[in-house]
A and B are shown apart, each in its own frame.
Chain A
């Protein structure tokens, strides 16, 4: 492994710290806008990881993916979220069902669990353990945000964090999927968000609120 290879590995490992930071901050964020901003920062870190791998492996496709990540996850999606919050005129609170202290504790526990889970795999497939643990904890945190935040918008955001985790996992283990597939996945995410946006409008129209936990008419 050359000097560049070692440097890339270190970059991936140390950038994991930033990823951990974003999810811990998301746990305490009280406003939707703060969470969106944190998601945007998280995507900046991921863009940097993509570019580092593109540089090391000299993959042109990976550069394209890096640009796509930046355009979609750092610029487009956060803007769409801000637009949506403005149009929906919703209260800015995320409506958490856990206190910030509890949330931080749970996310920290998830980070610990991720390390425990990936320890054996990471060494077997020669990838930085920190980066793999970061990916898994992003997935877990995304799921946690989805179940613990009552706002429809926060569920969308949780889904995006979860998806970011899967993206990082794919990136560090296989240097990403083939480009066509990667573009297809981005396209699906965009359409999915568009539809969820349409549904948030419908929820606020038919129910006069965006509190998903109050949608419990259908039972049994």
Chain B
């Protein structure tokens, strides 16, 4: 614990920078009417933001917790999630610079609006991870919905408008439940004798420990509402109805951001509450709930993957399935379960971005994402096919890719704890998903060439991002870098 960082000194500035850069960036980009200029500014500001996040992560690693005032704090868990935000948003910004070259001017639908909204979206997600106060965390989580709703409806087609409206309404209602849960937790804390000013601060709530657990019914009520509320944003079944629509209709870079970063941020919020309630009342209740939601999401999404006809909807359901896997890891707890869950948040983000990037290329080239209208890709678009293949093999959890490691860790935790039902369901769903992906992939890659893609060669922004993501998956599958595993263990220590 750091003693002298309550003020707003140099450390405070460090935390303020990654929040201030995207907000200022959004304002600057909105003023640039030239699309090329807007793109360049976005890349520059994105680089600055990543650098600022990197400094925060490094400081947390070397000096421990950072705090700025009463509302901002970064500990190892926040910095682990900041790391994946920084990595994925960097990839997405680079990919978007190529993806948006065909986008014209429209109301809220021009490149400058796109980048401005992306930066606002980034601002809310970074703030979620940096808030020290559960109220502020809620505000920022609702902010993520607001910032991304216009991005989901970016194309302004019938489908996009419908998906955007559904996203806005379903998530706002879901998040309203999380607000209710936050209020109930606040009530429990105040009743347990905590100072109202500190009763929403997660460090104080963690330290309050068993004292908070005196009123168990309130604590449980709070957790139920929170997991339903934030679970809506994670995409837990049965609150997942917005997710496939939003992922399928949004521009591809946004689908990648939603799936790879937003869902993780919501998962981060649930982790915080889980840690607080586990400290106060023992892990049995929250972990059982997480397991139930996790298994349910995994099974339902796994089955729905089989019947999908649209490539991006297929990937959206795969995200639901992987959020289920992470929830199972958290629900099992234990060293391997936590390790697997945290590692899986990162691995899934990388693999899913790679898949969405290749889906974006397919849409640009063939003008469709319907699986039955795509064939013989391996001949007409070899590079994109390779990326799609690598991403799919990784996402179904085959070695030598990184997702194998994290899924294996979670599975071995299930066996260690002798939870054979969970383990069996886990394995069955994984094999169903494998079959589903193999079937869909086979139909798209093979067949007689009947289509003529416009420009099958990848441009630099595409092969760079896809290459980095693919190599990262391969590398993490073979061996987790030392620094990364230290950061991961520090993050685990916060949750234990």
A residues with CB within 8 A of B: 121, 124-125, 139, 143, 146, 152, 155, 159, 162-163, 166, 169-170, 173-174, 177-178, 180-181, 184-185, 187-188, 191-192, 195-196, 198-199, 202-203, 206-207, 212, 215, 217-218, 220
Contacts and interface: CB of A to CB of B under 8 A. Distances in A.
Contact of B169 (A155, A170, A198, A202): A155
Interface centre among B138, B145, B173, B215 (most CB of A within 10 A): B173
A177 B146 contact: no
Given A177-B186, A206-B157, A166 B180 contact: yes
B306 to A, nearest CB: 11
Contacts of A202: 153, 156, 161, 164
30 contacts: A124-B215, A125-B187, A125-B218, A139-B180, A152-B165, A159-B172, A162-B176, A163-B176, A166-B180, A169-B180, A170-B186, A174-B183, A177-B186, A181-B200, A185-B179, A187-B139, A188-B139, A191-B146, A192-B145, A198-B150, A199-B149, A199-B153, A199-B164, A199-B168, A202-B161, A206-B161, A218-B162, A218-B166, A220-B304, A220-B307
B143 interface: yes
Nearest to A170: B183
Contact of A195 (B133, B150, B190, B244): B150
Nearest to A207: B158
Interface in B284-315: 304, 307-309, 313
Classify the secondary structure of A's interface with B.
Answer: helix
B429 interface: no
Interface string B101-115: 000000010000000
A177 B183 contact: yes
B186 to A, nearest CB: 6
A114 B149 CA distance: 33
Contact of B143 (A155, A163, A177, A188): A188
B335 interface: no
A217 B136 contact: no
A107 B169 CA distance: 22
A203 B169 contact: no
Contacts of B163: 218
Contacts of A173: 183, 187
A157 to B, nearest CB: 12
A192 B149 CA distance: 10
Contacts of B143: 188, 191
B190 A192 contact: no
Interface centre among B157, B163, B165 (most CB of A within 10 A): B165
Contacts of B304: 220
A58 to B, nearest CB: 15
B173 A159 contact: yes
Nearest to A156: B169
Contacts of B244: 218, 220
A220 B153 CA distance: 19
Nearest to B225: A166
B483 interface: no
B145 to A, nearest CB: 8
A215 B162 contact: yes
B462 interface: no
Contacts of A203: 161, 165
B307 A184 contact: no
Given A177-B186, A199-B161, A218 B146 contact: no
Interface centre among A139, A173, A180, A181 (most CB of B within 10 A): A181
Given A162-B173, A192-B145, A195-B149, 18 more contacts: A124-B217, A139-B180, A162-B176, A163-B176, A166-B176, A170-B183, A174-B183, A174-B190, A178-B196, A188-B143, A192-B142, A199-B165, A199-B168, A202-B156, A203-B165, A212-B165, A217-B162, A220-B244
B12 interface: no
Interface residues of B, number: 51
B183 A206 contact: no
Nearest to B164: A199
Interface in B189-210: 190-191, 196-197, 200
B249 interface: yes
A196 B168 contact: yes
A173 B218 CA distance: 12
Contacts of A217: 158-159, 162
B150 A188 contact: no
Interface centre among B135, B197, B217 (most CB of A within 10 A): B135
Nearest to A194: B146
A108 to B, nearest CB: 23
A159 B176 contact: yes
A218 B170 CA distance: 15
B248 interface: yes
B245 interface: yes
Contact of A206 (B158, B166, B245): B158
Contacts of B307: 220
Contact of B249 (A180, A195, A218): A218
A187 B139 CA distance: 9
A184 B172 contact: no
A159 B139 CA distance: 16
A159 B196 CA distance: 28
Contact of B135 (A121, A166, A181): A181
B135 A215 contact: no
A52 B158 CA distance: 48
Nearest to A175: B196
Contact of B186 (A139, A174, A185): A174
B162 A177 contact: no
Contacts of B196: 174, 178
A174 B180 contact: no
A46 B186 CA distance: 21
A195 B245 CA distance: 18
Contacts of B217: 121, 124
A166 B136 contact: no
Contacts of A191: 143, 146
Given A218-B159, A220-B309, A192 B172 contact: yes
A191 B187 CA distance: 27
A175 B163 CA distance: 37
Contacts of B164: 199, 202
A188 B183 contact: no
A218 B245 contact: yes
A166 B150 contact: no
Nearest to A162: B176
Contacts of A125: 187, 191, 218
